[in-house]
Amino acid sequence: MDQREVKRGPRIGTVTRVRESVVDAVFPNGIPAVYHALRTGEDREIVIEVLDHLDEQTIRGIALTSTQGLARGSAIEDTGQPLRVPVGERLLGRIFNVFGETIDGLEPIEGGEWRSIHQEPLPLVRRVTKTEVFRTGIKAIDLLSPLERGGKAGLFGGAGVGKTVLIMEMIHNMIGQHEGISLFCGIGERIREAVDMYDEVRDAGVLDNTVLVYGQMNEPPGARFRVGHAALTMAEYFRDDRRQDVLLLIDNIFRFIQSGSEVSGLLGRLPSRLGYQPTLGSELAELEERISNTEAGAITSIQAVYVPADDFTDPSAVHTFHHLSASIVLSRQRASQGFYPAIDPLKSESKMLVPHIIGRRHFEIAQEVRRTLATYEDLKDIISMLGLEELSREDRRTVERARRLERFLTQPFVVTEQFTGIEGQIVDADETLDGCERILNDEFADFSEADLYMIGTIDQAKTKQQARTRDQNGNAQNETQSQEQVAETTINEQGSEDNAS
């Protein structure tokens, strides 16, 4: 079909209406198909994607670039194909926009294979049903919300609770030990965040195995709405053609939903009762269902999800929940208490947390940790009103275990070393289980809670305690010496006064 269109020349139409990013055009010699890319403007620099057919000759499209300078009567050309992006190993180490153009200031990528950003999800017969745990090196996640290889995990939280920092730490932890390709997709990303991410990947020495795709916050909603599809097309090449595993990190899915809402509003569609587009569910599914694993390889996705006003009943959060195999919920309350990462252990969950997948020991320890923390949560009201002394001896022991578990599940990050001055830690899942088990068995009942705060493995608590004891002994010794010096000075002064008399 594309070859026949090329032979008879491109279809040329006329712009009949321009309303912000929405453009209507008439094609008297044949109407372009839905999703076809159109070009207009003086240098054909304005790109429009067909979204609707108004009649047998008129299309309505959404502009992926600025429409400044576009007027009624302008010529518009059908490219005869959907928006395409390059694929292949030549993408590694580069930064792209939604059009597949490089934006890192290096040589542009031309020629070679380019594929449509609109691909069908894999049929069920090509997917595999076996489950495998994907380790992150972050204690709270590996213990209570283990990720699935080839699955989708969501980082839920409001503004300022640490979603981007957690994603950057996962990149650092997994990118070095991850044998496949890492692909970062920034949807509605700020320039500062994009530069920080690029520097982090480059400084980690893994830029050669990474592809970055950005739809910036200042770009039109159409570009932000399609950048996720562009990134998935690149990821699918490495999975299906190169038979490699792909780690796909998306920041953030809410901005994808938000850009879809903007597009829907521009097209004149009536919103739902809570203000979102009526096609929210299908648009999100169109993106999420392309993330899957096959016998050849897997696309494992970790997605940041902004939760408006911390309301987890918001439709954007509810619809996203349905697609995930693991949900990591970040708590503003825990962040205010200094527990970083601010993961809520009682609200976070994973379908992998079952005995036949993670093992009986892991399952039992995780359940006991949750039970201990839940009991402590229930007792907080009594403690605040009556005090800890009014609890039974068993409840006091439970509270002490829970407080030590809360502090042990904090962890210093590599990406925040420059701010905290604490060396970042990557902790193996078995060491996390060992530490929690020993705390539950009251092995660290005599330790200060501060000894368990911001450490990696549990053995570092003993090192921290020893250092604190040395400091205390040193301070006590210095204080004793100071007192002796004061006493000696006083005696000398008295002796001088006696001699003077």
Q: Which active-site residues does the annotation give?
A: 163, 189-190
What are the backbone dihedrals phi and psi of residue 240, each rounded to the nearest 5 degrees, phi first?
Answer: -90, -40
* Segment holding 476, helix H or strand E: helix 459-500
d(CA 10, CA 339): 60
Closest CA to 26 of 36, 11, 41, 37: 11
- The residues, ordered by sequence, that sit 6+ positions from 374 with a Cβ below 8 Å of its Cβ are 346
Beta bridge partners of 327: 154, 349
- The residues, ordered by sequence, that sit 6+ positions from 92 with a Cβ below 8 Å of its Cβ are 181, 208, 209, 210, 211
d(CA 385, CA 399): 15
Residue type, 282: S
Q: How many CB atoms lie within 10 A of CB 477?
A: 10
d(CA 12, CA 275): 37
Give the pairing type, strands 326-329 and 299-306. Answer: unpaired
Sign of CA dihedral 242, 247, 250, 253: positive
- The residues, ordered by sequence, that sit 6+ positions from 133 with a Cβ below 8 Å of its Cβ are 146, 147, 148, 149, 352, 357, 358
- What would the two tokens of residue 125 be? 């017969």
Sign of CA dihedral 232, 162, 255, 108: negative
132, 167, 374, 449 from 389: Cα distances, Å: 46, 41, 20, 18
Asked if 37 and 23 touch (Cβ cutoff 8 Å), the reply is no
